[in-house]
Chains A and B, each alone.
Chain A
Amino acid sequence: MAIEVTEFYLLLSAVLFTLGALGVMIRSNTIVMFMCVELMLNAVNLTLVTFSRQFGEVHGQVFVFFVMAVAAAEAAVGLAIILAVFRNYFSIQTSDVHDLAG
């Protein structure tokens, strides 16, 4: 029973993570890319909580807490960057922001 639950959630988080990665790769809207990264983070969080349950330890959840803190910081800075980018390029499409193209 326990193993099955763990396995199920690991698979679920694998799917979520892959979807997030796919989104980052194929979307060109920075905000959507940002959200896909959040999705990946959540997949990892799910894994952490699953293992936390499997081992009966609370450390995994503590780690999730820190991931959330980092995600919050990331959101603040990332969105501020998106704002700044928009202010300069009037767009947040990655296709429009390519000054560093080789």
Chain B
Amino acid sequence: MTFAMMFFGLLTVVAALGVVFAAKPLNSALSLVATLFLVAVHFAMLGADFVAALQVLIYAGAIMVLVIFVIMLLGLDEASAVSKFKVPRYLAAVFCGVFLGLLVFAVSSEGIFPVGIMDSVAGGASESNPGSPREVGMVLLTEFIFPFQLAALLLLAAIVGAVLLAHEEKRPLGKGRGLSAMQQKNSSEEELREV
């Protein structure tokens, strides 16, 4: 556990807090971009270069752009940190606290769980993480070729579904808080096809 890990870990947690508690959706989104980028940094530090690059490329570069795009498109940057419904937030916090406690205990294997996670992984084989594109690609395109193709199919289905869902029937848009209807439609569809 190096200093860099601690430092970036702390940053990650702060960014994640920003995602959850930022008042404006756009700030949330930017925090999430930062979080994702930092997670990519963690990946790189763990030796998973390829996944790190993909993380930035796919998550930060594509998915989050889409999210921000939608936020901008719909003009949704109203501050609404708290649900209007009185969902008992303290209850949620308690749940999360219990859950986190369980996870921490599980990781530190204090004997609560039937099998401690760390006990079961302690005999790990190696410390060098094979994470280069060649290694990952080799496994991906041999052992996992079928799931790989399935993933391609899934993405195709997602594209078609997204276009279908986002496709606007010939009826007037609501009091568009974003931009003119034509502009939105054109770009949003092209945009969604990207993913």
Contacts and interface: CB of A to CB of B under 8 A. Distances in A.
The bracket for how many chain A residues form the interface is: 35 or more
Interface residues of B, number: 94
Dominant secondary structure at the B interface: helix
A8 to B, nearest CB: 5
Interface in B69-119: 70-71, 73-74, 76, 80-85, 87, 89, 92-93, 95-96, 99-100, 103-104, 107-108, 117-118
Interface in B44-76: 46-48, 50-51, 54-55, 58-59, 62-63, 66-67, 70-71, 73-74, 76
A72 B62 contact: yes
Interface in B131-173: 131, 135-136, 138-140, 143-144, 147, 151, 154-155, 157-159, 161-166, 168, 173
Nearest to A6: B121
Interface string A68-81: 11111111110111
Nearest to B63: A75
A56 B144 contact: no
A56 B128 contact: yes
A55 B124 contact: yes
Interface of A: 1-12, 14-23, 25-29, 31-32, 34-36, 38-39, 42, 45-46, 49-59, 61-62, 64-66, 68-77, 79-84, 86-87, 90, 92-95
Interface of B: 1, 5-6, 9, 12-13, 16-17, 19-20, 25, 28-29, 32, 35-36, 39, 42-43, 46-48, 50-51, 54-55, 58-59, 62-63, 66-67, 70-71, 73-74, 76, 80-85, 87, 89, 92-93, 95-96, 99-100, 103-104, 107-108, 117-118, 121-122, 124-131, 135-136, 138-140, 143-144, 147, 151, 154-155, 157-159, 161-166, 168, 173-175, 188, 192, 195
Given A1-B127, A9-B42, 15 more contacts: A2-B124, A12-B42, A16-B35, A18-B96, A19-B16, A28-B85, A32-B28, A35-B19, A49-B131, A57-B130, A58-B131, A76-B159, A76-B162, A95-B84, A95-B85
